[in-house]
Amino acid sequence: MLFFLMEYFRSSAGIKFPSVFGYTSTRMILAALTSLALSIFLGPWFIRKLNALKIGQHVRQEECPELGKLHKQKADTPTMGGILILFSIVISLILWMDPRHIFTLILLVTTVVLGALGARDDYLKLRYKNSKGLSAKKKLFVQLLLSGGIALYLFSTPVQFALEVGDWFQPPVVKERISPKVSWDPFLKEDLEPVQSTISMSLSTKDYAGRVYFPFVKDPIIVFSGIFSIFAVFFMMCVITGASNAVNLTDGLDGLASGCLIMVAICLLLIAFLSNNIDIAGYLNILYIEGSGEIAVYLSALAGACLGFLWYNSYPAQVFMGDTGSLALGGVIGVSAVLLKKEFLLAIVGGIFVAEALSVIIQVASFRYRHKKRVFLCTPLHHHFEYLGWPESKIVVRFWIVGLLLALLGIASLKFQ
């Protein structure tokens, strides 16, 4: 909206706005402040509305009686707080992002589709007391359909790099830095540094989508092309769907998912911001992705909204985000990693989410194939520590500390490669 307003007033009334509002860094700050303010100031009104509608959390004790006792005091706490988070993020998108860029559309569609999926799941759980919500197959179908559509778009987009004024939803310019050529002038003195020239190569959208990078390694570890591109499509689908479900599993303690999402978002938004500058991207040996600044703006809004939501979601929680928030926010994180080609880096900085998901997978596999033997006392992983007697607030803070260390490790990987 801001872009349209500035162009309209400049063309019709000759009014010029300060160019600072067009800077990516400025829009990142404003997006974060906008979503933070909206989530904090609308929070009390939103919680009152949820209470009036009796949208409260059901604590189920049939499957885990001991866990039901531990969480008994959380019964009837309002849920579906993810609506507030997503609303704040979308308002920031409307105000501060460029609607003409394809990244804006992809992130918006991801938020709306997965947010609607989570809202439907939450509604069924609240509407019918003994309901488990949507079946896992139905949720997985929608997630795979969305992620598959994004992956296929990246592989089917025509090779066109020039972004012209008025063009909509064009693929971004992607450039890779080739190993620099170093030349010496024999007439230079020995104490002078050699002349170094940097060479960059433009990548087609298919080449960009088919590359897989690993942290601490400069060059791609795998490049899928031709018929093998189908493996890259499946890989993207697994990353997006896995991230969505992993965040959903992590959302089990007051403030746990919100705090971890903030750290992961900050790490990825920094990478997105650096990838939007061709000189910095060349220096760090990462892909230059024109328009990745829009990802940085969106993740800034996500971090701000989660921080504001944490004001009410921290222990003892006044509201839960529910599947409405966790499925959508996890999906956005996964999509951002795919667009930035940092899928494996996401596994590091989002290590808490990975551990939570793996604990469930290991527990289910052990129960099924080891004659109903369990590895953990209860899953996801945070419930295991609850069973060990750790206070909820201590579990959350310790998980945050681990998440912060992993985020710092992810940022360090940009330089140590």
Q: How do residues 5-19 score in pLDDT, each as one tens digit?
A: 776 666 676 677 677
Rounded CA separation 13/216 (Å): 51
Widest distance between CA atoms in the chain: 84
pLDDT tens digit string along 166-192?
A: 455 666 778 776 655 444 444 444 444
Residue 269 pLDDT exceeds 90: yes
Q: What is the mean pLDDT of residues 50-70?
A: 70
- pLDDT > 90: what percent of the chain? 60
Residue with tokens 């997965």: 114
Residue 295 pLDDT exceeds 90: yes
Start-to-end CA distance of the chain, whole Å, equals 39
Q: What is the mean pLDDT of residues 373-388?
A: 91
Residue 199 pLDDT exceeds 60: no
pLDDT tens digit string along 329-354?
A: 999 999 999 999 999 999 999 999 99
Pairing of strands 222-223, 174-183: unpaired
Rounded CA separation 80/322 (Å): 5
The pLDDT, as a whole number, for residue 127 is: 80
Lowest mean pLDDT among 90-94, 124-128, 300-304, 374-378: 124-128
Q: What is the mean pLDDT of residues 179-208?
A: 57
Rounded CA separation 233/255 (Å): 33
Query: What is the CB-side half-sphere exposure of residue 159 using CA atoms within 13 A?
Result: 6
Residue 164 pLDDT exceeds 90: no
* Paired tokens of 373: 């033997």
Comparing C-alpha atoms, which of 146, 27, 102, 155 is closest to residue 289? 102
Looking at 370-391, list the stretches that DSSP marks H as alpha helix, in order from N- to C-terminal side.
Answer: 381-387
String of DSSP letters for 309-371: HHHHHSSSPS---HHHHHHHHHHHHHHHHHHHT-HHHHHHHTHHHHHHHHHHHHHHHHHHHTT
Residue with tokens 């010496």: 184
Using a 10 angstrom Cβ sphere, with 0-12 exposed, 13-18 middle and 19 or more buried, the burial of residue 37 is middle
Reported pTM: 0.90
Comparing C-alpha atoms, which of 223, 228, 375 is closest to residue 287? 223
Query: Measured in whole angstroms, how far is the alpha carbon of residue 171 from the centre of its chain?
Result: 20
Lowest mean pLDDT among 82-86, 115-119, 282-286: 282-286
The pLDDT, as a whole number, for residue 358 is: 97
The pLDDT, as a whole number, for residue 218 is: 85
pLDDT tens digit string along 16-39?
A: 767 777 789 999 999 999 999 999
Residue 137 pLDDT exceeds 90: yes
8 Å CB contact between 260 and 250 = yes
pLDDT band per the 50, 70, 90 thresholds, residue 54: confident
